[in-house]
């Protein structure tokens, strides 16, 4: 093995959370992976250590200018008791795309996947095995150089933490209520919309708070120029079933290229669905609704996999989709993708990577 990271085991293991009542992202395992970057030295001293707070100089670049990126993937306990990852090479590749946009030095993609595998192996007894649970993996990179002048940091920390998690939405596959945001925008072409970085989220919180106050779970973003074309949903990509066409926004720099999105498109195409990656205006959605052709809507992302949408509100129009229930396309995708992830459905794509 090219990468073998030294492990310092905790002397103080934590109690495991109740597997029957697991929230998303609140509990963390006993260990974490960390590797540092320094100009002239590159990435160095990768290691697995007890989970602990990180000490940073108050002048660290990340605190002032937000030079930061993150990823999200999961380890699943399979039906036969093994442990596997889902397309981790795609996360490694996307990390480097994000890094490039934020002037963070590239990481070796093979090292990245090895680091994920090794930290998951160390904390494998934290992987829950109840239905709809998994071990959420959060790799992230922060700029650590303690200098205030605005510039590209010359030092970084890349850390991986793990969180045993239940369904992203407490109600599982219960359809969500979405609010179409027509005031605030998330991204415009040329910005950082296709980078997975904290800055995008900081800028989206205000709209999320306003939507929550109005009784909605999440936002459906429109394009940042005309506020006309549907883009994505909070933390996930958006799919619409209009008649027999499954539509999702194209990758033109403003949305995050979701790995779940990519997997959904592949699975749908291979099963004879008509899938279009195209611009679609919110007016077209409303028109389809009025004609009785807006059959389904769902969001796709690692955290929830597939999250059906039951209600969509745009200005004064409140659309109830598929009677507020999960539709057949969303159910099929959830069963197929979650099935592949957990080994219940045969992986004909080579998407799964065993950890042990």
Ligand X SMILES: *Cc1c(COP(=O)(O)O)cnc(C)c1O
Q: Between residues 48 and 90, which has the closer beta carbon with respect to ligand X?
A: 90
φ and ψ at 137, to 5 degrees? Answer: -115, 125
Minimum distance from residue 198 beta carbon to ligand X (Å) = 10
Minimum distance from residue 332 beta carbon to ligand X (Å) = 17
How would DSSP label each residue in 233-280? ETTEEEEEEETTEEEE---SSSS---HHHHHHHHHHHHTT-EEEE---
DSSP-assigned letter for residue 144: -
Give, for 189, the enclosing helix (H) or strand (E): none
Q: Between residues 155 and 192, which has the closer beta carbon with respect to ligand X?
A: 192
Q: Residue numbers of the site for ligand X (CB under 6 A)?
A: 72, 196, 232, 235-237, 256, 258-261, 300-302
Q: Between residues 31 and 261, which has the closer beta carbon with respect to ligand X?
A: 261
Q: Between residues 134 and 235, which has the closer beta carbon with respect to ligand X?
A: 235
Distances from the Cα of 329 to the Cαs of 68, 149, 232, 273, 299, in angstroms?
36, 51, 18, 9, 12
Minimum distance from residue 91 beta carbon to ligand X (Å) = 7
Q: Between residues 172 and 198, which has the closer beta carbon with respect to ligand X?
A: 198
Q: What is the distance between the alpha carbons of residues 187 and 251, in angstroms, rounded to a whole number?
A: 13
Minimum distance from residue 319 beta carbon to ligand X (Å) = 22
Q: What is the distance between the alpha carbons of residues 52 and 5, in angstroms, rounded to a whole number?
A: 18
Minimum distance from residue 11 beta carbon to ligand X (Å) = 35
């Amino acid at each position: 093995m090219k990468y073998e990271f030294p492990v310092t085991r905790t002397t103080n293991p934590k109690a495991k959370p109740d597997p029957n009542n697991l929230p998303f992202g609140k509990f963390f395992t006993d260990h974490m992976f960390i590797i540092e970057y320094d100009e002239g030295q590159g990435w160095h001293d990768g290691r697995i250590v007890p989970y602990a707070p990180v000490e940073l100089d108050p002048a660290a670049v990340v605190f002032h200018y937000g030079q930061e990126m993150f990823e999200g993937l999961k380890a699943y306990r399979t039906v036969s008791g093994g442990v596997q990852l889902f397309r981790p090479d795609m996360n490694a590749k996307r990390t480097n795309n994000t890094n490039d946009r934020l002037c963070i030095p590239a990481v070796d993609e093979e090292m990245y996947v090895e680091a994920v595998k090794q930290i998951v192996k160390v904390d494998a007894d934290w992987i829950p095995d109840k239905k709809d649970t998994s071990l959420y993996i959060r790799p992230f990179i922060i700029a650590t150089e303690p200098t205030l002048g605005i510039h590209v940091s010359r030092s970084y920390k890349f850390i991986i933490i793990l969180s045993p998690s239940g369904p992203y939405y407490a109600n599982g596959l219960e359809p969500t209520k979405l609010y179409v945001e027509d005031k605030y925008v998330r991204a415009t072409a040329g910005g950082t919309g296709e980078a997975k970085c904290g800055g995008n989220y900081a800028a989206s919180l205000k709209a999320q708070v306003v939507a929550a106050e109005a009784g909605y779970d999440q936002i459906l973003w429109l394009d940042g120029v005309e506020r006309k074309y549907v883009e994505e949903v909070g933390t996930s990509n958006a799919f619409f079933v209009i008649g027999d066409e499954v539509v999702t926004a194209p990758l033109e720099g403003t949305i995050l290229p979701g790995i779940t999105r990519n997997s959904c498109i592949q699975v749908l195409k291979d099963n004879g669905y008509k899938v279009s990656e195209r611009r679609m205006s919110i007016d077209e959605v409303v028109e389809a609704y009025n004609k009785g052709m807006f059959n389904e809507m769902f969001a796709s992302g690692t955290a929830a996999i597939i999250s059906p949408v039951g209600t969509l509100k745009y200005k004064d129009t409140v659309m109830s989709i598929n009677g507020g229930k999960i539709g057949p396309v969303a159910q099929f995708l959830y069963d197929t993708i979650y099935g592949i992830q957990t080994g219940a459905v045969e992986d004909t794509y080579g998407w799964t990577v065993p950890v042990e």
